Every structure is written in structure tokens, then in C-alpha cells.
Amino acid sequence: MQIAIVLFDRFTALDAVGPYEMLSGVPGAETFFVAERTGAVRNDRGSLRLVAERSLGEVPAPDVVIVPGGPGQSARMEDGALLDWLRAADATSTWTASVCTGSLLLAAAGLLTGRRATSHWLALGTLERYGAEPTGERVVFDGKYVTAAGVSAGIDMGLTLLGRIAGDDRARTVQLLTEYDPRPPYDAGSPEKAPAALVEECRARSRFILT
């Protein structure tokens, strides 16, 4: 089994590494990072580089495709090479998944039309404009399509998907070994829970990013 995590310039690191950490130990599976070209790919902050070990062309038919998000997504909504690859990979994948605004790329490739899906809370409107049916859930399964909400939701998505792929006991073991018993020090992880002023500030700033 091949699990391919797609990288692109200005991706969000935790979007990619969260599901990677959950899924990379699947027995018999090979997990790798893939990008248009092999080599180091820089994240949204500019201070982290993760190496894409294979090019898209070298991996025509992975079993699992995972697309992270990040501000770099917006420049790729008409990226023929990436969207063509996503469509071709999806034709034979067992699971096609995304984290955060990665779902916008799946939607732009036409893969989420009419499907229940999610994205970063700031991107749900855009997701709808690209033909999906956004939900407020953290992890959404619709057939073989699995989408996660913003950034850290990729961990929950990865662990849930691991359970489907390798069984509940394997997933529980990974949860135990990664000590995934979260205790956020604040309770501001969703627009419903965060102070209204912070939510508004984020919305105002995002108008320049998400269009």
C-alpha cells in the first residue's frame, strides 16, 4: 500500500505531519511525501522545509492520497499538473483525503462535487462555491473521500483513517504511543468557542487570503 502526502510551496506543516505521524506506521504500507518536483518544499511561514522524496509523475496510483492545506493552496486552484494528478490518482485510490484548505484543491479538481466535506472554518464558503456540501464536522467521510477541518484536525482524521485501514486496535496503539490525550490550555479552538472579537479579527484578515 502506498500513502502519498502531497506537498506544495506554502503548505501548512502540521496539516501534512499530523496525518503522517498517525499513518506512517501502517504495517506493509509505504508513506512518503510527493510534490511536483522532488526536493525540499517550503511551508507557509517560510521557516520549515520538508523533503518531497518523489515527484508526482513517479507516483501515478497511490492507494491513499492526502492533500494538506495552507495559504499556498490558493495559487494552485488552476494548477493543471496538480489537479490532473489528483484526478488521475483519485481514479484508482482507495481513499482520497485532505486537511484544512486541501479540500479546496480536491474540490477544484472536481472530486467533491455534491459530496459532504469540510475545510478550515474560514474556507467553508469557498468550498461550497466549488461544488461541495460543507459541514461543520471535524472529520467528514463521504464514500472514499475524507476531509478534515483546519490544521490540527488532520490528526483526528489520520487516526480515524488508520482505524479504517488497519483496525481499531492498531489505531488505539498509535494513539497510546503518541500519547494523544489532548488537553488544550485554552478553549478557543473553533469559531463557536473563541472570543467573538478574535473570530472577527481572523475573518477580517482572511478576506485577503481566501477568495
Residues 12-51 that bind a copy of itself (CB under 8 A): 12-14, 17-18, 20-21, 24-25, 30-33, 40, 45, 47-51
Among 58, 61, 178, 200, binds a copy of itself (CB under 8 A): 178
Task: Check: CB of residue 15 under 8 Å from CB of residue 73.
Answer: no
Instruction: Using DSSP, state whether 157 is helix, strand or coil.
Output: helix
Residues 52-71 that bind a copy of itself (CB under 8 A): 53
Count of residues in contact with a copy of itself, rule CB under 8 A? 64
Cα 36 to Cα 49: distance, rounded to the nearest angstrom: 15
Among 27, 78, 181, 208, binds a copy of itself (CB under 8 A): 181
Residue 98 touching a copy of itself (CB under 8 A):
no
| Nearest CB to a copy of itself, comparing residues 83 and 126 | 126
Terminal C-alpha separation, the chain? 36
Record the cell numbers describing residue 169, joined without a space. Answer: 486496535
Instruction: Give the Å distances, CA to CA, from 140 to 35, 149, 178.
Output: 25, 9, 23
Strands (E), the chain: 2-6, 30-35, 39-42, 49-52, 54-55, 64-67, 95-99, 116-117, 133-134, 139-142, 145-148
CB of residue 118 to a copy of itself, shortest distance in Å: 10
Residue 194 touching a copy of itself (CB under 8 A):
yes
CB of residue 67 to a copy of itself, shortest distance in Å: 16
The DSSP 8-state label assigned to residue 10 in this structure reads: T
Which residues of the shown chain bind a copy of itself in the complex (CB under 8 A)?
A: 12-14, 17-18, 20-21, 24-25, 30-33, 40, 45, 47-51, 53, 100, 120-121, 138-139, 149-153, 155-156, 159-160, 163, 168-169, 171-173, 175-186, 188-191, 193-195, 198-199, 201-202
Active site residues: 100
